[in-house]
Amino acid sequence: MTESSSACSTGEIHDLTVAGIAEALAKGDVSSREVTQAFLTRIESVEPDVRAFLTVTADVALGMADEADRRLAAGERGPLLGVPVGLKDLICTEGTRTTGGSKILNNYIPPYDATVARRLREAGAVFVGKLNMDEFAMGSSCENSGYYPTHNPWDLERIPGGSSGGSVAAVAARECPASLGSDTGGSIKLPAALCGVVGIRPTYGRVSRYGILAFASSLDQIGPVTRDVRDAAVMMNAICGHDPKDSTSAPVDVPDFTAALGRDGSDIKGLKIGIPKEYFLQGEEGRGGMDPEVEAAVRKAADALVGLGAELVDISLPHTQYGVATYYLVCTAEASSNLARYDGAHYGHRATGASDIIDMFTRSRNEGFGAEVKLRIMLGTYALSAGFYDAYYMKALKVRTLLKRDFDVAFEKVDLILTPTSPTPAFKLGEKADDPLQMYLTDIFTISPNLAGLGGMSVPCGFTSETNLPIGLQLIPPAFGEETMLRVAHAYEQTQTWCERAPKL
């Protein structure tokens, strides 16, 4: 491979990025079958340690690879044609088991593709498997999977972050060069930061949610995980766009995101980048308190952007401290409604021995759902119930308006906002498992922009010195402003070499 093919490619086939693979396929250096086989071999070798996959679809993958090879032989070219990808296991895939990380869907085989799966299929991507996650995307560590936790490839005793833990761990461990995750309160951005990969949450409405197992419908959004910014733009091109099958899909034009990257850092000259003071506070003990190395790495990245001609502007997002409370009332209310569908009647787990239908519903849900899902259904049902609706749910919706206004005001002054993605690097498995509130506060920096409907991304910006754990920075653009975000991320990426590091597995 030539150096220009990709910022982050070295060595073996499984070390190639999406762009590197597409180039090798286009030249005829390798076939999609060979590439796919190389990743399946990699999966076999590291998966006992990482456990990023719930289902590896080797036969499906090789069939799709052969089809891609036929299209390549016929002269067709495409940035994802013949490239292996993994999908978070809440994206419905026709004929391949889709569990949402839940035992209640242990045997569910969707009769149709989610729109994002269909779009990737049409682009010629090769599906290597379905990726682990917190059950129904409820969690920040991937420990709430109904099956088993995923391990952080940089330190196997630590969590990869969640809920898209499998999606980020698989890319970090080079089990696939790209994947899709979903982000409700930070479920792509947070784990991407903790595993040292690029993760994008598109603006709400940018990507179809048709065929996605719903958690909180006003927040859920599908997005890509890759090793560098260019690959993320390639994936965005493939998955974004209006979908008549999703009534909340935004009827807006989709730009060519790879064209938005620009050539070099000079493209960001004069851009105003907001630094919100509330994201750099030393929090109360254990509650959002920032690791000094994280703060230093993020400030250094901001300085690098100044070196490229951007201007840093101090801003305030005054309602930030109310984000987590607002989020956990809104998302649980929506979840309690969305998850009412899992009743054992039409698909999924059904308990045996029920005396009547209510008993069947209750037993099936009791057996099928894990503790965190039950807790959130209970919280959401309580917040929506008669007598408490105004005090909790309606109050949260009003505070959501205030949080959104914070961003509206900020974007009158700046083009983009820069923050840490997570206040700390990855914590150890089990460390927060019995304390839901501490776990919820993990998402403190990713939640507020999500409540405002905004997109964002996490970009690697360093490593801790002693523990060698990845650190990520979060970029937040105005609604549908992903091009600016990608341009800045790409410009920053050119100034450093973080993405060349690989975990030792």
Closest approach of Cβ 260 to other proteins, in Å? 22
Answer yes or no: are the C-beta atoms of 347 and 108 closer than 8 Å.
yes
Closest CB to other proteins among 58 and 397?
397
- Would you tell me how many other CB atoms lie within 10 Å of the CB of residue 405? 14
Instruction: Collect all residues with Cβ–Cβ distance below 8 Å to 264 and sequence separation of at least 6.
Output: 491, 494
Closest approach of Cβ 17 to other proteins, in Å? 33
How many residues appear in the chain?
A: 505
Q: Which residue is listed with tokens 């099956």?
A: 147
For residue 365 the two structure tokens come to 């849900």
Closest approach of Cβ 361 to other proteins, in Å? 5
- Would you tell me how many other CB atoms lie within 10 Å of the CB of residue 354? 15
Catalytic residue among 9, 31, 88, 336: 88
Secondary structure (3-state) at 212: strand
Q: Note if 163 is an active site residue.
A: yes
β pairing state of 470-476 and 198-201:
unpaired
Run of H or E residues at 470 = strand 470-476
Closest approach of Cβ 384 to other proteins, in Å? 9
Catalytic residue among 6, 141, 145, 163: 163
Q: Report how far residue 463's alpha carbon sits from residue 434's, in angstroms, rounded to the nearest whole number.
A: 28
β pairing state of 272-276 and 311-315:
parallel
Start-to-end CA distance of the chain, whole Å, equals 23
Closest CB to other proteins among 53 and 322?
322
Answer yes or no: are the C-beta atoms of 274 and 413 closer than 8 Å.
yes
Residues of this chain that bind other proteins (CB under 8 A): 107-109, 111-112, 204-205, 218, 244, 247-248, 250, 319, 321-322, 324-326, 328-329, 336, 340, 343-350, 354-362, 365-366, 369, 374-375, 377-379, 381-382, 385, 392, 394-402, 404, 436-437, 440, 452-453, 479
Closest approach of Cβ 382 to other proteins, in Å? 5
Instruction: Collect all residues with Cβ–Cβ distance below 8 Å to 20 and sequence separation of at least 6.
Output: 1, 5, 6, 9, 177
- 318 dihedral zone (left: phi>0; alpha: psi -120 to 50; beta): alpha
Spatial CA neighbour of 123 closest among 237, 261, 255, 241: 237
Q: Which residues are paired to 85 by β-bridges? A: 127
Closest approach of Cβ 438 to other proteins, in Å? 10
Closest approach of Cβ 137 to other proteins, in Å? 18
Answer yes or no: are the C-beta atoms of 336 and 323 closer than 8 Å.
no
Quickly list DSSP for 154-221. TBTTB---SSSHHHHHHHHTTSSSEEEEEESSSTTHHHHHHHT-EEEEPPTTSB--TTBPPS-TTT-E
Catalytic residue among 31, 32, 145, 187: 187
Q: Report how far residue 49's alpha carbon sits from residue 104's, in angstroms, rounded to the nearest whole number.
A: 26
Q: Report how far residue 294's alpha carbon sits from residue 451's, in angstroms, rounded to the nearest whole number.
A: 24
Closest approach of Cβ 334 to other proteins, in Å? 9
Closest CB to other proteins among 108 and 299?
108
Q: Note if 88 is an active site residue.
A: yes
Closest CB to other proteins among 132 and 203?
203
Closest CB to other proteins among 215 and 498?
215
Closest CB to other proteins among 233 and 441?
441
Distances (CA, A) of 270 to 274, 306, 331, 414, 415: 13, 9, 38, 11, 10
Secondary structure (3-state) at 286: coil
Closest CB to other proteins among 154 and 411?
411
Q: Report how far residue 160's alpha carbon sits from residue 165's, in angstroms, rounded to the nearest whole number.
A: 5
Closest CB to other proteins among 411 and 440?
440
Closest approach of Cβ 253 to other proteins, in Å? 15
Closest CB to other proteins among 39 and 393?
393
Active site residues: 88, 163, 187
